[in-house]
Amino acid sequence: MLNIALPKGRLGEKVYKMLEAAGYACKDVLGDSRKLIFTDERSGVSYFWVKPSDVAIYVERGVADVGVAGKDILAESGADVYELLDLRIGRCKMAVASVNGYREDLSRPLRVATKFPHIAAAYYGGKNREIDIIKLYGSIELAPILGLSDVIVDIVETGSTLRENNMSVIEEIFPISARLIANKACYKFKGGEVDAAVERLQKELPDD
């Protein structure tokens, strides 16, 4: 039995459809119920619906053998898991952004508002730039508009949130997409099963 952590939401639904096409169908996973665990003996899978930012924890701790998480979540959590496959969906980028016309004052620490403090710290650490991190949980774009921060480190997908708030990207940090991850110990004793899943999924990936 392969235990799979799926990120709740639109990305998770897309991922499930790829897994279903790859031969891992499970009845009612996409239904309207509030159920969190679905098992299908015939396909040999159990699915758990997990908050997207928690997927890496479930997999790192081994209660899920594999899971799907965005590169942003993986980079932020620093989870010790194997990254097996880029699923080429959920594409966006991690970027630094601010209000249009913003000019950096190099004489003082940069105030950075973000949901991703580890990513921001690593990025500016690599540039030897001193920063003051302001951890927020949503609507990050508000911070520089209201003067809470100088810049944000956040996800940009279509760019419309930035555009509609007179903001723009200053620097791109890294591209993001959904990744299939595996628990390291589970991979040792279920490696064959996991590799078979990777191989089947590879045939279902969207074109580049």
List interacting residues with ligand PRP (CB under 6 A).
138-141, 154-161
* Cβ closest to ligand PRP, residue 22 vs residue 140: 140
Nearer to ligand PRP, 62 or 159 (CB): 159
Q: Which residue is nearest to ligand PRP (CB)?
A: 138
| Closer Cβ to ligand PRP, 77 or 161, answer by number | 161
Rank residues 157 and 199 by Cβ distance to ligand PRP and give the closer one: 157
149: burial class by Cβ within 10 Å (0-12, 13-18, 19+)? buried
Cβ 95 to ligand PRP shortest distance, Å: 9
CB of 160 to ligand PRP, least distance (A): 4
Report in angstroms how near the CB of residue 155 gets to ligand PRP at its nearest.
4
* CB nearer ligand PRP, residue 20 or residue 54: 54
| Least distance from ligand PRP to the Cβ atom of residue 157, Å | 3
CB 151 within 8 A of CB 144: yes
* Shortest Cβ 14–ligand PRP spacing (Å): 16
